[in-house]
């Protein structure tokens, strides 16, 4: 400690590279591979408009005559459709790229909404305590006692009936984000409340109170930054869950319309053709979905191991 004053302060990047987190990351091949796969999928799908050979949203580029061509390695394939085409004659590779992008966007936005609601409610419940806490947590319990899918199905079915499928299809992305976001906030609220209760007992919070800081400042400046680790941990898992939820809803026909397919609606669309031999329409997006969710969950496992305060002692 005595040579603190002599050593030059390490740069931010260097600090990050030296951190326990980076160290454990470099030593964990599963985490490295998962991140690599996730980044490949994410980058490719977000670059879809640039790299996809066709635009699946453009009806002009779709020719029904091209429907149900198999992938390139199967007999009877057309070389321009690497992964084959779907029932409407869309290039499957392009459709999957666009669909993955949509799935990831919906997943991230839904989780952002969950996190915003859950963190706010959790912070208030944990910090204020008493009646407010009881009320908010009972709300969370009620919300949790309905399954996400059930809430979502009811909500989406009602909206679809209410607005008609034309309007619904136009705003499907927002409806999906809203319903998945609202249905899962208690996950965040409970975790955040638990950490707030733990942090609130620590002396630095007392110290902040003695210095006369208001509750809002203490919550946001002092408690929230120290509750980030568990938030980070559940966020990864929740993104995977949200992507699955979106896929399930789309598969049930309550999500993205066939004209703007996400991974779930692609799988669903192909499902009708699986017995007629066109397995690739379902199987290939299915594999992408499974791999995407798997790598996110593997990353989540690693994050939890690193950030778990019980396992990790600085």
Partner 1 sequence: MKDLSSAGPLLDIQNLEKKFDLDKGFLETLKLRGGRLIRETRAVHAVNNVTLDVHKGEAVCVVGESGCGKSTVARMVAGLLAPTHGEIHYAGQRIDNLSRHAMRPLRKKIQMIFQNPYASLNPRMTILEALEEPVRHHNPRYSNAEVRDRVAEVMRSVGVDPAWAKRYPHEFSGGQRQRIAIARALTVDPEFIVADEPISALDVSIQAQVLNLMLEAKESRGLTYLFITHDLSVVEHFGTRVVVLYLGSICEVADTATLFSNPKHPYTKALLSAVPQLKDDRPNHIRLKGEIPTPINLPKGCPFRSRCAFANKRCDEEKPKTIQQPDGSLVACHAVEEDRLDTAASV
Partner 2 sequence: MSLLSVRDLTVKFAMRDQTVTALNSISFDLAKGERLGIVGESGAGKSITGFSLMNLLSRPGYIDSGQILFDGQDVVQMSEKALRSVRGNRMAMIFQDPMVTLNPVLTIGQQMVETLRAHRKLSVEEARQIAIVKLREVYIPSPEERLEQYPHELSGGMRQRIIIAIALLLDPQLIIADEPTTALDVTIQADIMELMLELCQSNQVGLILITHDLGVVSQMTERTLVMYAGRIIESGSTRSIINDPQHPYTQGLINALPQQTLPGHQLRQIPGNMPTLAQVPPGCAFNPRCEFATDTCRSQIPKISQYGDVEVACHEVHRLQTEPAREEEQA
Among 29, 76, 79, 212, binds partner 1 (CB under 8 A): 212
Among 165, 207, 259, 308, binds partner 1 (CB under 8 A): 207
- Residues in contact with partner 2 by the rule CB under 8 A: 1-3, 23
The listed partner (partner 1, partner 2, none) that binds 3, CB under 5 to 8 Å by sort, is: partner 2
Among 204, 287, 309, 312, binds partner 1 (CB under 8 A): 204
Burial class (CB within 10 angstroms; exposed 0-12, middle 13-18, buried 19+) of 266: buried
Between 15 and 170, name the residue whose CB sits nearer to partner 1. 15
Q: Supply the minimum distance, in Å, between the C-beta of residue 3 and partner 2.
A: 6
Q: Supply the minimum distance, in Å, between the C-beta of residue 23 and partner 1.
A: 16
Number of residues interacting with partner 1: please give it, by CB under 8 A. Answer: 22
The listed partner (partner 1, partner 2, none) that binds 212, CB under 5 to 8 Å by sort, is: partner 1
Sign of CA dihedral 170, 262, 143, 132: negative
Q: Supply the minimum distance, in Å, between the C-beta of residue 211 and partner 1.
A: 5
Interhelix angle 185-200/172-183, rounded to 10 degrees, is 40
Instruction: Give dist(CA 49, CA 129) in Å, integer.
Output: 49
Residue 182 token pair: 């609202």
Among 61, 143, 160, 226, binds partner 1 (CB under 8 A): 226
Conformation bin of residue 130: beta by default, left when phi > 0, alpha when psi is -120 to 50 = left
203 counts as binding partner 1 under rule CB under 8 A? yes
Instruction: Give dist(CA 302, CA 232) in Å, integer.
Output: 11
Instruction: Give dist(CA 282, CA 158) in Å, integer.
Output: 28
The listed partner (partner 2, partner 1, none) that binds 23, CB under 5 to 8 Å by sort, is: partner 2
Instruction: Give dist(CA 108, CA 163) in Å, integer.
Output: 26
Nearest 10 degrees: CA dihedral of 218, 221, 222, 224?
100
Q: Supply the minimum distance, in Å, between the C-beta of residue 262 and partner 1.
A: 37
Among 57, 163, 213, 279, binds partner 1 (CB under 8 A): 213
| 8 A C-beta contact, residue 51 and residue 42 | no
Between 146 and 204, name the residue whose CB sits nearer to partner 1. 204
DSSP designation for 13: H
210 counts as binding partner 1 under rule CB under 8 A? yes
Q: Which of 96, 99, 92, 90 is nearest to 64 (CA)?
A: 90
Instruction: Give dist(CA 193, CA 199) in Å, integer.
Output: 10
Q: Supply the minimum distance, in Å, between the C-beta of residue 305 and partner 2.
A: 16
- Residues that bind partner 1 in the complex, under the rule CB under 8 A: 1, 4-5, 9, 202-204, 206-214, 217, 221-222, 225-226, 314
């Amino acid at each position: 400690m005595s040579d603190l004053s002599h050593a030059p302060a390490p740069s931010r990047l260097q600090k990050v590279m030296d951190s326990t987190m980076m160290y454990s990351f470099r030593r964990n091949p599963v985490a490295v591979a998962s991140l690599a796969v996730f980044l490949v999928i994410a980058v490719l799908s977000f670059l879809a408009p640039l790299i996809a050979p066709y635009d699946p949203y453009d009806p002009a580029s779709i020719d029904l005559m091209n429907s149900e061509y198999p992938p390139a390695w199967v007999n009877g394939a057309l070389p321009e459709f690497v992964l084959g085409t779907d029932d409407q004659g869309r290039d499957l590779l392009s459709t999957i790229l666009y669909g993955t992008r949509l799935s990831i966007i919906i997943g991230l936005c839904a989780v952002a909404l969950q996190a915003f609601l859950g963190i706010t409610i959790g912070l208030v419940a944990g910090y204020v305590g008493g009646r407010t806490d009881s009320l908010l947590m009972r709300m969370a319990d009620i919300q949790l006692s309905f399954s996400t899918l059930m809430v979502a199905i009811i909500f989406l079915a009602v909206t679809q009936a209410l607005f008609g499928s034309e309007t619904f299809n136009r705003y499907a992305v927002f409806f999906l984000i809203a319903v998945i976001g609202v249905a899962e906030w208690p996950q965040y609220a409970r975790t955040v409340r638990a950490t707030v209760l733990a942090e609130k007992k620590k002396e630095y919070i007392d110290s902040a109170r003695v210095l006369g800081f208001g509750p809002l400042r203490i919550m946001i400046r002092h408690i929230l930054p120290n509750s980030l680790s568990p938030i980070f941990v559940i966020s990864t898992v929740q993104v995977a869950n949200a992507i699955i939820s979106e896929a399930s809803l789309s598969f049930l026909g309550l999500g993205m319309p066939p004209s703007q397919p996400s991974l779930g609606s692609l799988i669903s669309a192909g499902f009708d053709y699986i017995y007629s031999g066109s397995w690739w329409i379902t199987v290939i997006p299915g594999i992408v979905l499974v791999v995407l969710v798997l790598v996110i969950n593997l990353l989540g496992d690693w994050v939890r191991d690193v950030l778990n305060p019980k396992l990790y002692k600085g």
